[in-house]
Amino acid sequence: MNSSYRLATAIHNNKQAVFVELDNTLYTLDHLLLEEDRKQLSYKSPADLMPLLENWGYWSIILPKRIEAAIPDTGTAISPNAVTFCAPVLSPKKLVCIGANYKDHIAEMNIPMLPDYPYSFFKPATTTLRGSGAKVSIPSVAKMVDWEAELAVVIGKHAKNVRAADALQYIAGYSNLNDLSARDWIAKRPPVGIDWVRHKGHDGFAPMGPYFLPAKFVPDPQNMSVKLSVNGAVKQLSNTGQMVFGVAEIIEHLSSIFTLEPGDIIATGTPAGVGHGRDPQEFLAAGDIVEMEVEGLGVLITEMA
């Protein structure tokens, strides 16, 4: 098939399922599957993308064939407005974030030098991930909650000690991720340094989605526009080409430390325009609507509460 498709995890008629998005129309994956596909899934309809990612070698080949054979079928067509989006992957084994990875963001945060290697930290995936359209509560202990538009990489097969030249073949696809951050613990650093858990780990601090775009539809992950707005005002506007370390270099670095597994998510850093770097500084308040989009990945919408 020539047309690109995207995948999503969403709730429709009180049932959570995987959907295929084509031309702004959703189709349930379940309607596309053949008997041989169901065997791959042990006859269970997937509730998120993880079962597909665990056997992405199969699904990356089969899905285009099933989509071409079965779509369009107006009898199973659903409007994106009729579903409640979840994060595409609900329970990844790892959610790794890269910090200080855009040169202009490094400058606005007054970091004195470029990093020598990708600087990383973890977020607690099962409690931070949220879908597009979800409300995220501002923690009662935080007064400086900030936005960070990021390209998220989703791993499609085990990767250990991978070279940068080979790294992109380990990617299943891409999504949006807003690395929400409570800057309160940057402003007042304890003697041992920044408290990254209080800074980054609050419930709901990783909105993701709405879509997962298979990697084959992204010719170059270092040439994708990045945009974020708050209440309609553009705050971040950049391109992934401004990264200090590209996607391939990040995978090489991380896989030299631990094995990347199918479904693992890597958030690759944010460009300039965050609230903490502005003069005067700006932070999110209840009722604010944050919209972000990496090129081709749909619009991720988050309402602060």
Alpha carbon distance 22, 67 (integer Å): 9
Q: Residue 103 falls within a domain, yes or no?
A: yes
Residues 225-250, mean pLDDT to the nearest whole number: 97
Instruction: Read off the tokens for 100.
Output: 């200080």
Of 204, 232, 44, which Cα lies nearest the Cα of 131? Answer: 204
Q: Residue 148 falls within a domain, yes or no?
A: yes
Residues 289-296, mean pLDDT to the nearest whole number: 98
pLDDT at 98 over 80: yes
Q: Residue 258 falls within a domain, yes or no?
A: yes
CATH of residue 257: 3.90.850.10
Q: What tens digit of pLDDT does each residue of 77-86 get?
A: 899 999 999 9
Whether omega before 112 lies within 30 degrees of 0, making that bond cis, reads: no
Same domain, 223 and 169: yes
Same domain, 252 and 117: yes
- How many domains in the chain? 2
Residue 113 has what pLDDT? 73
- With cut-offs at 50, 70 and 90, classify the pLDDT of residue 185: confident
Q: Residue 76 falls within a domain, yes or no?
A: yes
pLDDT at 217 over 60: yes
Q: Which of 85, 105, 132 is the last residue of a domain?
A: 85
Alpha carbon distance 97, 201 (integer Å): 11
Q: Residue 194 falls within a domain, yes or no?
A: yes
Amino acid at 284: L
Q: Residue 1 falls within a domain, yes or no?
A: no
Same domain, 74 and 164: no
Alpha carbon distance 207, 158 (integer Å): 25
Q: Which of 57, 85, 113 is the last residue of a domain?
A: 85
Same domain, 70 and 203: no
- The boundaries of the domain holding residue 250 are 95-304
